[in-house]
Amino acid sequence: MGKRRTFGPMGRACAFAWVALSFSAHVAADAARPAPLITDEIYTKPVRLVDIGQGQRLNLYCQGSGSPTVILDAGMSDSMVSWALVQPSLAKITRVCSFDRAGLGFSDPARRTSTPVNQSEDLHALLRAAKVMPPYVMVGHSMAGMNVRVFADKYPADVVGMVVVEGSHEDQSVRGWAIGEEGAQAKWDAWLKETHACIAEAQKGLIEGSPMYATCLGTSDTRISDAINQARTRREVLPAYQAAAASERENVFYESARETRATRKDFGSMPIIVLTHSPFPKRDDETQVERNQRTLLWEDMHTQVASMSTRGINIIVPHSGHYIQFDKPQVVIDAIEQAVGIARRK
């Protein structure tokens, strides 16, 4: 959930950024069809808080056994619950771990800016401290599509495969902002200022029913049980969450993009499977030509990532939105199983 809330700040951010950093672009389709309801109470509290150094703890959830271990990294400002329809099935074939990045979910507050390099170092420390040893198949959704590439670049001996689910790309902002009317970047930057207002409001106390509460948290996701929504709300009203979420948003198109751009573009024969949503319908604020340009650009950038390996492939997933792991979980499961199988045969 590049944000789990449907009409909160990420809903407007998606309109500014045009790309899938939230699922608001296909909310009408989601509202019209029944969605899987995630009810597992494991997501209502910390699973395992692991000290990664200096007393900072990250929340980790591992299931299954076998090698390589699958590591699931959630989208921007999201938590491990976004993998709830995928992780149990994967645990039948190998060990699989999801986690909450610093400041998000049930993890301790972030001590550094939320960029791929810092988050990769945190994840590496988490896996070592928890004795979850390599090799790994790294799986990243949305913004974490950049995280897993940075992790694989920093720790090449640890990674034997990648699956990128609707991954963000380091050039998506520059290339996307060039489509349509001028001013998209200015709108994005103006929206970023609002995210800092959410930090200040959280420090005073976000009150349910207030305008800032709706702005900073949005509405609950009906695909998730009330108990999970309530548990997440209790965390997301806190300054630590608002600060970490704001840091990811303000860096994703700037420092995070620069860090990702600096990584290697050749991963040899490591399997890289990229999953891309089916074309979105035209929005009210764009022409069909602009929508077509954005669709082709999104697919092109994902093909670029797949082409970083001789065993790379970009798959367009029919009838899916940004949350392919919710819309078509079996497709995600199959892709990860394929990457695990290739890694085991090498």
Q: In this structure, are residues 302 and 271 in contact, taking their beta carbons and an 8 Å threshold? A: no
Q: Residue range 227-233: average pLDDT?
A: 94
| H runs (alpha helix) in the chain | 9-17, 27-32, 87-90, 116-129, 144-154, 172-177, 184-204, 211-217, 226-236, 239-252, 255-261, 288-306, 324-327, 329-345
Q: Give the predicted TM-score (pTM) of the model.
A: 0.91
Residue that the structure tokens 């608001």 belong to: 24
Q: Residue range 20-37: average pLDDT?
A: 41
The model's pLDDT over 118-137, given as tens digits with 9 standing for 90+, comes to 999 999 999 999 999 999 99
pLDDT (0 to 100) of residue 19 = 45
pLDDT at 298 over 70: yes
Q: Quote the DSSP letter at residue 323.
A: -
Q: Residue range 302-318: average pLDDT?
A: 97
pLDDT at 27 over 60: no
Q: In this structure, are residues 127 and 100 in contact, taking their beta carbons and an 8 Å threshold? A: no
Q: Residue range 202-221: average pLDDT?
A: 89
pLDDT at 178 over 80: yes
Q: Residues in the chain, how many?
A: 346
The model's pLDDT over 31-76, given as tens digits with 9 standing for 90+, comes to 454 443 799 999 999 999 999 999 999 999 999 999 999 999 999 9
Number of H helices, E strands in the chain: 14, 8
pLDDT (0 to 100) of residue 13 = 36
pLDDT (0 to 100) of residue 301 = 97
**Amino acid type, 197:** A
Distance CA 47, CA 42 (A): 7
Q: Residue range 303-331: average pLDDT?
A: 97
Sorted by sequence, the CB contacts under 8 Å of residue 74 that are 6+ apart come out as: 1, 80, 82, 83, 98, 100, 101, 104, 141, 142, 144
pLDDT at 12 over 50: no
* Burial of 24: CB neighbours in 10 Å, binned 0-12, 13-18, 19+: buried
Q: Residue range 180-202: average pLDDT?
A: 90
pLDDT (0 to 100) of residue 6 = 33
The model's pLDDT over 275-289, given as tens digits with 9 standing for 90+, comes to 999 999 999 989 999
Average pLDDT over the chain reads 89
Residue that the structure tokens 């089916």 belong to: 278
Percent of the chain clearing pLDDT 90 (strictly above): 81
